Amino acid sequence: MLETGIKAPDFTLPDQNGELRSLKDYQGKKVVLYFYPKDMTSGCSKQACRFAELYPQFKEKDAVILGVSKDSVASHKKFEEKFGLPFTILSDRDQEVIKAYDVLKEKTLYGKKHLGVVRSTYLIDEEGIIAKAFSNVKAQENPDQMLGEI
């Protein structure tokens, strides 16, 4: 995890529509930047759907939600359409941003070790500084937690 109080690493990634988005695009707004392992999986779907349910409240607080995974733009588009997600999902195919935010870690699945994305969320303030950082978050509780942090 990156430390709080430091400048958040900038990035440019394609969203679910293939449009390039940069962290700089959101200067002047609070940004909830959440990293998740995979589209369409149970935990990731619950987390995304809860963020979607709370989206109007995030918007009232002038906060933007950005989801990031290594899934493709096409996968993100299906994910958005299936669940009616009203926020931006970014595709980090080469995992550069995932690595920059230090959320790629060794995990164990069925006794085998592999590198994977640890479900993590950053709150970035209006000046682009990391205000809060949470690792190993619980998928369904994280959106409510982040709304409370803003």
Encode pLDDT of 86-98 as tens digits: 999 999 999 999 9
* pLDDT confidence of residue 111: 82
* pLDDT confidence of residue 92: 97
**Residue appearing with tokens 């430390």:** 3
* pLDDT confidence of residue 48: 95
Q: What is the dihedral of CA 75, 150, 127, 97, to 10 degrees?
A: -30
Cα 147 from Cα 150, distance rounded (Å) = 6
Which tokens belong to 119? 């479900």
* pLDDT confidence of residue 106: 78
Residue 49 annotated in active site: no
Helix (H, G, I), strand (E, B) or coil at 56: helix
Contact criterion met (CB below 8 Å) for 3 and 89: no
Q: In terms of pLDDT, which residue wins out, 106 or 78?
A: 78
Catalytic residue among 44, 63, 123, 139: 44
> Which secondary-structure segment (H or E) carries 111?
none
Cα 122 from Cα 35, distance rounded (Å) = 9
pLDDT tens column, 22-74: 999 999 999 999 999 999 988 889 999 999 999 999 999 999 999 999 999 99
What is the pTM (predicted TM-score) of this model? 0.93
Within 10 A of 12 (CB to CB), how many other CB atoms are there? 13
CA 87 to mean position of chain CA atoms: 10
Given CATH 3.40.50.300, say whether it is the number of domain 12-149: no
pLDDT tens column, 97-142: 999 999 988 777 778 887 888 899 999 999 999 999 999 999 999 9
Cα 38 from Cα 143, distance rounded (Å) = 17
Smallest Cα–Cα separation from 117: which of 40, 38, 15, 50? 38
* pLDDT confidence of residue 75: 96
Cα 89 from Cα 14, distance rounded (Å) = 8
* pLDDT confidence of residue 59: 96
